[in-house]
Copies of this chain bind each other. A is one copy, B any other.
Amino acid sequence: MDHQPIDLDSLTPGAWKILDVASALFYEYGIYSVGVDTIATEAGVTKPILYKNFGNKDGLIAAYLQNRHRRWWPRLEEAIAASPAPRALAVFDVYMEDAKTMTRGCAYLNAAAELATDHPAYPLIRHHKHVVCERLRQLIEEDLPQIEDPQRLADHLFLLAEGAFAHHRIYGGSLLAEARQIAQKLLSP
């Protein structure tokens, strides 16, 4: 029925329950390792209800990534608002906070690895990572106007954070904390 992109604002409570359950399972076990049957059962609904709300599994995957971004972005902005200069470090703070509970690494990098690059939800992944890098550049421009090439420094910090988050799944170690320390040094004049 609903093959349009899902509008998160017009989801019913029942649909949110499905999305929440799907999100947890997708993240924990991987998108293609979780069947819609499992999701529906865990959410306490039947399969046609799921399909009525999300069209098909791809719609649910898209809603998963979209909703994750919508919940995460305000947390980043809050951390930025509460952070002393250089506020770019707030990105690392949020990633470290995330890492405490997200033992499977970055949901977007995981999804990127699983989904085909022409999957309808792939642009959501690109967008999520793009705006993070963009925000880093803005923060650098505002907090450290003396920096010559803010885009390059933003990319530098972005790669540190992403590399550390990607490997958090593999090692689960303290690479994120180390990345933050390195970033701190890069941002101090």
**Could you tell me which A residues sit within 8 Å of B by CB distance?**
29-30, 32-33, 104-105, 109-110, 112-114, 116-117, 125-126, 129, 152, 155-156, 158-164, 166-167, 169-171, 175, 178-179, 182
- Per assembly, the copies of the chain total 2
Least CB distance from A171 to B in Å reads 7
Contact A114 B160 (CB under 8 A): no
Output the residue of A109, A117, A129 with the most chain B CB within 10 A: A109
Cα–Cα, bound, A164→B112 (Å): 14
Q: Is B29 a contact of A116 with CB atoms below 8 Å?
A: yes
Looking at the assembled complex, report how far the CB atom of A8 sits from the nearest CB atom of chain B, in whole angstroms.
Answer: 22
Q: Are B155 and A159 in contact (CB under 8 A)?
A: no
